[in-house]
Amino acid sequence: MTSPPCIRFAPQSAPDRLKVLREAFGFDRLAAIVSPGSAEADPLSLCHGLLAAAVRRGARLIRDEAVAFDTAGRSAAVTLASGRLVEADRIVLATGYVMPEIVRDGLHHVASSWAIATVPQAPRVLWPGAALIWEASKDYCYCRTTVDGRIIFGGEDEEFSDPDRREALGPEKTKALQSRLHAMIPMADLDLDRAWSGAFGQTQDGLPLIGSVPGHPRLLAAYGYGGNGITFSFLAARMIGQLIHGVEWPWFSAFAIDRDRIC
Ligand SMILES: Cc1cc2nc3c(=O)[nH]c(=O)nc-3n(C[C@H](O)[C@H](O)[C@H](O)COP(=O)(O)OP(=O)(O)OC[C@H]3O[C@@H](n4cnc5c(N)ncnc54)[C@H](O)[C@@H]3O)c2cc1C
């Protein structure tokens, strides 16, 4: 994958800034930050790769659903829907936006998000360098391209988690995303290939919940990443590894599951 072009010239006047951005990426904004050195990955292939690496190192994968946790004994135990029981010295909970009752706290809530993928675009429509674009406005949106030239455009978040309501809003959100894409890149072909929605867990203060589950020392958890799963999951893996080895840095408290709430 090629890196996005790095804009080195920093013009002072707004018209000059507009011109540089339009020439480099094809759309108008008063300012933008280009961050070179980023990467993208196919999440499904990445997960399969990581799981295969874990298996090579001795992990056993079980396809099941965790339905209950017991931490009262000398080891921790997870009861699975199939009736099987898994015992371990420590258990790490990482079930995404589905936060089990044993962890639940007032800081965490689940929100909904929508996305569309267009048909493949004419080459002159797409911006160069496979840049991932994030519009950091209050109603944020993001867009990226695929290897076969589609635009993926997402955002239009809402602060509710009900899947039926999310599904019902799909057509309306699709139209809203198409219209925002058109406003940003008027030449883009808005014909749809796919439209979908998803849920994600976030917190009131924007920081994830990572660490020991209060009252259950053998249970550790990682939740509330919001739209920053790639960054925070890596952080969680490092922090939880250290906690299991008895290492706890003072800054871990910023991510503690029982940290103070914002009123
Ligand atoms: C539309 C959308 C776009 C996003 N874009 C980005 C992005 O560009 N960059 C970014 O960094 N992040 C993005 N995110 C956020 C990112 O996807 C999440 O933060 C990340 O996937 C969370 O990872 P996780 O491993 O904690 O949970 P998940 O990926 O949700 O995995 C949790 C797994 O646990 C399983 N599970 C749940 N309950 C149980 C149970 N009881 N027993 C057994 N298994 C269970 C689930 O089936 C799931 O497979 C996006 C999210 C959405 C919805």
Which residue type, as a one-letter code, is found at position 104?
A: R
Mean pLDDT for the chain overall: 89
Alpha carbon distance 235, 255 (integer Å): 10
Domain ranges of the chain: 62-107+206-255, 113-196
Contact (CB, 8 A) for 238 and 208: no
Judge whether residue 17 has pLDDT over 90: no
Q: Tell me: the pLDDT tens digits for 78-131?
A: 999 999 999 999 999 999 999 999 998 788 999 999 999 999 999 888 988 788
Q: How far is the CA of 201 from the centre of ligand 1 (A)?
A: 9
Q: What is the structure's pLDDT at 157?
A: 94
Q: Show Cβ contacts of residue 253 under 8 Å, excluding neighbours closer than 6 positions.
A: 259
For ligand 1, atom 8, name the residue with the nearest CA: 227
- 115 Cβ below 6 A of ligand 1: yes
Interval between CA 230 and ligand 1 midpoint (Å): 10
Q: What is the mean pLDDT of residues 3-13?
A: 52
> How far is CA 185 from each of CA 119, 127, 166, 189, rounded to the nearest angstrom?
15, 10, 26, 9
Query: Ligand 1 centre and the CA of 113: distance in Å?
Result: 13
- Ligand 1 centroid vs 82 CA: distance in angstroms? 23
Pocket of ligand 1 contains residue 229 by CB under 6 Å = yes
Q: How far is the CA of 200 from the centre of ligand 1 (A)?
A: 7
pLDDT band at residue 1 under the 50/70/90 scheme: very low
Q: Tell me the mean pLDDT in the region 227-245.
A: 93
Residue 261 has pLDDT above 80, yes or no: no
Strand intervals (E) in the chain: 66-70, 76-80, 85-88, 91-93, 108-118, 133-135, 141-145, 151-158, 192-203, 209-213, 216-223
Decide if domain 62-107+206-255 falls under CATH 1.50.40.10. no
Lowest mean pLDDT among 8-17, 155-164, 233-242: 8-17
What confidence score (pLDDT) does residue 26 get? 81
Question: Which atom of ligand 1 lies at the shortest distance from residue 100's CA?
Answer: 41
Q: What percent of the chain has pLDDT over 90?
A: 67
